[in-house]
Amino acid sequence: MAKSVKDIDKKYVMNSYNRYDLEIVEGMGCYCYDVDGKEYLDLSSGIGVNSLGFCDMGWVDSVTQQVCKLNHTSNLYYSQPCAILAEKLCKRTGYDKVFFCNSGAEANEGAIKIARKYSFDKYGNGRDKIITLVNSFHGRTVTTLAATGQEVFHNYFFPFTEGFLHAKANDIDSVKALLDDSVCAIMAEMVQGEGGVIALDKQFVEQLRALCDEKDLLLIVDEVQTGMGRTGKLLASMHYGIKPDVTTLAKGLGGGLPIGAVLADEKCSGVLGYSMHGTTFGGNPIVCAGANYVVDAMNDEFLKEVEEKANYFREKLAQLPEVESVSGLGLMIGLKLKSKTASDVVKEGIKKGIIMLTAKDKVRLLPPLTITYNDIDKAMSILSTLLA
Ligand SMILES: Cc1ncc(COP(=O)(O)O)c(C=O)c1O
């Protein structure tokens, strides 16, 4: 008898993911199907990646056309999809320049390098520490694990990159207590995603911006999960009325292909000179063609709809008797439950045909931004049974 995909995967793929008992074979919009043809309503977007849902036809067209035209070229040469994407991102966000890479962790590595080099150029050696927040998550490379403010990630892989200090979120005195002449930057997520879908307070974010201005520190905002419309604005920092010096993007930007981006303001967009940073696949034409489609799709009307659908969904969720509170921003939703365990609910959800995530002790929902009101109503009907 032929072995199942599950058996082959278990035997040959490294055991670093605790996979659910679900093999997804195809998808369209907010729905996907397993090997037996069973339908699932997706409220996870592949952890915030499929911003336009599964296989959006316009996105598929853009990618397919590019696949047939030019699959890859080195960064030693110019290519149109990369240049056009950079222009669009800068014009939409007000940033000066962008560096393309392949993932969120890599984007954060790039941001960290920019911060240290900016400071080195201006102040010389020794001003290289970066303050991040307790409960943050910035990636899985040795440096971004060190940046991540959760002790559970500081294990096994010693020695970690030096120079990261962790302050308490929403506590400016905790940040100030770590501040001395050796600090060059502060890095934060506007909504801590993996840490439990917790939005920072507006006043704290304003205080961070002011502190960075006063001390000439770079403010780096990690929008790997919050960026590209997830919260109802193109960038979550736009809710807070501040502009970080550096913003990192990944996940939803590519709409299903691997991309990362580091957006830098004029002040620091020139610090990485020739051969100081690079990556073979960064700005790949196919990936950029997909991202160009995503950025075009996220016009003002689209973002307004995301905000409205999010308000509708959040209000309904808050009315479920089992839900103690609804956290996050826009379509980045955390559900604190009264008596049920989040991981049990997610497992049970798969049986009932709905795909969700966890974040710490919460159920986390990151539905495709194209979710319809009908899909939300359907999700609510399944969830009200699941959480009864
Ligand atoms: C806020 C944040 N930063 C960085 C990362 C790492 O991104 P990637 O897995 O693409 O390296 C993640 C992934 O979940 C994230 O949520």
In whole angstroms, what is the distance from residue 50 CA to residue 239 CA? 22
For the cut 90, the answer to whether the pLDDT of residue 2 exceeds it is: no
**How many C-beta atoms lie closer than 10 Å to residue 351's C-beta?**
11
Q: Which of 251, 253, 257, 259 to mutate to test the pocket of ligand 1 (most atoms within 8 A of CB)?
A: 251
In whole angstroms, what is the distance from residue 167 CA to residue 129 CA? 13
For the cut 70, the answer to whether the pLDDT of residue 1 exceeds it is: no
| Complete DSSP assignment for 313-339 | HHHHHHTSTTEEEEEEETTEEEEEESS
Task: Calculate how far, in angstroms, residue 105's C-alpha sits from the geometric centre of ligand 1.
Answer: 6
pLDDT digits (tens, 9 = 90+) for 294-352: 999 999 999 999 999 999 999 999 999 999 999 999 999 999 999 999 999 999 999 99
pLDDT digits (tens, 9 = 90+) for 192-217: 999 999 999 999 999 999 999 999 99
pLDDT digits (tens, 9 = 90+) for 122-167: 999 999 999 999 999 999 999 999 999 999 999 999 999 999 999 9
pTM exceeding the 0.95 threshold for the entire prediction? yes
Task: Calculate how far, in angstroms, residue 210's C-alpha sits from the geometric centre of ligand 1.
Answer: 26
pLDDT digits (tens, 9 = 90+) for 232-265: 999 999 999 999 999 999 999 999 999 999 999 9
For residue 25, give both structure tokens: 């074979």
Would you say 45 and 29 are in contact if contact means Cβ atoms under 8 Å apart?
no
Task: Calculate how far, in angstroms, residue 254's C-alpha sits from the geometric centre of ligand 1.
Answer: 14
| CA nearest neighbour of 192 among 234, 154, 225 | 225
- Beta bridge partners, 220, equal 187, 246
Would you say 189 and 225 are in contact if contact means Cβ atoms under 8 Å apart?
yes
Work out the percent of the chain whose per-residue pLDDT is above 70: 100
Nearest CA to ligand 1 atom 3: 138
Contacts of 184 (CB under 8 A, 6+ apart): 115, 116, 118, 119, 123, 127, 128, 129, 130, 217, 218
Q: What is the mean pLDDT of the chain?
A: 98
pLDDT of residue 267: 97
Q: Which of 137, 150, 190, 257 to mutate to test the pocket of ligand 1 (most atoms within 8 A of CB)?
A: 137
Task: Calculate how far, in angstroms, residue 225's C-alpha sits from the geometric centre of ligand 1.
Answer: 7
Task: Calculate how far, in angstroms, residue 109's C-alpha sits from the geometric centre of ligand 1.
Answer: 11
pLDDT of residue 205: 99
Q: Indicate the residue type of 386.
A: L
Nearest CA to ligand 1 atom 13: 139
Would you say 336 and 325 are in contact if contact means Cβ atoms under 8 Å apart?
yes
Nearest CA to ligand 1 atom 16: 225
Provide the angle, in degrees to the nearest 10, between the axes of the packed helices 285-297 and 57-69. 150
Helix (H, G, I), strand (E, B) or coil at 162: coil
Task: Calculate how far, in angstroms, residue 139's C-alpha sits from the geometric centre of ligand 1.
Answer: 5
Domains defined along the chain, listed by start: 5-56+301-386 (3.90.1150.10), 70-297 (3.40.640.10)
Nearest CA to ligand 1 atom 7: 104
Contacts of 363 (CB under 8 A, 6+ apart): 334, 335, 337, 342, 345, 346, 356, 357
- Any residues with Cβ below 6 Å from ligand 1, and which? 103-105, 108, 137-139, 189, 193-194, 222, 224-225, 250
Mean per-residue pLDDT for 367-374?
98
For the cut 70, the answer to whether the pLDDT of residue 219 exceeds it is: yes
pLDDT of residue 3: 84
pLDDT digits (tens, 9 = 90+) for 69-109: 999 999 999 999 999 999 999 999 999 999 999 999 999 99
Task: Calculate how far, in angstroms, residue 107's C-alpha sits from the geometric centre of ligand 1.
Answer: 9
For residue 161, give both structure tokens: 């990159």
